[in-house]
Amino acid sequence: MTLIQDKTEDTSSQTNSPILYRPMTDEDLPIAYELSQIVKWPHRIEDWKMVMRLGNSFVAEENGVTVGTALCWSHGDQYSSLGMVIVSPEKQGRGIGRQLMNQVLNDIGDEKNVILFATPSGQPLYESFGFKATGEVYQHQAIVEKTSPVTLSGGKTLRSVDQNDYANVIQLTEKACGIARSAMIKDVMSFGDAVVIEENGEITGFAMARPFGRGHAIGPVTARDTDLAKSLIQYWINALESKFVRIDIPANSGLSAWLAEVGLPQVDTVVEMVRGESPTRDDETRQYALVSQALG
């Protein structure tokens, strides 16, 4: 997710110090975390470490103090995404957000298509960089209670993932997303948990849950149909009973009303934007929940 306000740069004050833009290091993590807390993002230090190790990170620094962040991630040869763009509220209006965008877009290069998820208020700024709105994502979250047990028919079974499933799970996820996901899936599997639905020896659904923010996040969720996706999500709701759970879903997933019914109301909406061509996603297998608003 990106949080930038496109304010007119204030050049009237002569007290502003020069801004240094540079790669982010581990030493910047505490202040980056503080910035995300100031703008009321839920990310923990561990969540910051995850997004940093998966991509390239940049900061804006004034007088030795980090005042802004921006990250980008490569998803194969054709796609990248960007996010975690934050500018300290007291430093906004000086063009810092725009320069951070320039940093990550220069790092990505002109030859790749770029995806981001933005607040509606930030949409005009991103459009000035050539991004176009392609859809919406709904954020659902709450402390969950146990729902009905998961029931599967037709020879389907739900089980935990093992290492022999990795290749099939990655293939299923990449078909649903239209972009490379191998590095991300392997990273999240190193500390999260995952289940699959299997039918006649074929994996037809996959869902992960991991510690994130105020509790846990469910995602990604990929499946052949909506009923399978509901079963996977329902499994994790039951497994995470009495815990805070968040899930980010594409608006066209058809799951929003159902999630509210099972105790996960919608609390926010962000806009999916693309510079270049949108990914070609599989007609049969769909992504029903994102990893996160930063990583897609």
Q: What kind of fold does domain 19-130 have according to CATH? A: Aminopeptidase (3.40.630)
Residue 13 has pLDDT above 60, yes or no: no
What confidence score (pLDDT) does residue 12 get?
37
Q: Convert the pLDDT of each residue in 198-218 to its tens digit.
A: 999 999 999 999 999 999 999
Asked if residue 65 lies in contact with residue 34, where contact means CB atoms within 8 angstroms, the answer is no
CB-count burial class (<10 Å; 0-12, 13-18, 19+) for 155: exposed
Backbone angles phi, psi at 145, to 5 degrees: -115, 160
The first and second tokens of residue 33, run together, are 């975390």
Radius of gyration of the chain (CA): 20
pLDDT number for residue 15: 65
d(CA 15, CA 52): 32
How far from 252 is each of 229, 249, 286, 287, CA to CA, in Å? Answer: 13, 8, 10, 10
Choosing among 3.40.50.300, 1.10.460.10, 3.40.630.30, 3.90.740.10, the CATH entry for 139-268+281-289 is: 3.40.630.30
pLDDT of residue 156: 94
Q: Tens digits of per-residue pLDDT, 27-65? A: 999 999 999 999 999 999 999 999 999 999 999 999 999
Question: Residue 105, SS3?
Answer: helix
- C-alpha 35/C-alpha 150 separation (Å) is 40
Tell me the CA distances in angstroms from 172 to 61, 90, 179, 200, one per residue in order. Answer: 41, 44, 11, 16
Assigned token pair, 265: 């109301």
Q: Give, in order, the Cα–Cα distances in Å from 46 to each of 73, 96, 172, 236.
A: 17, 26, 27, 21
Q: Write out the residue limits of the CATH 3.40.630.30 domain(s) in the chain.
A: 19-130, 139-268+281-289
The first and second tokens of residue 252, run together, are 């066209």
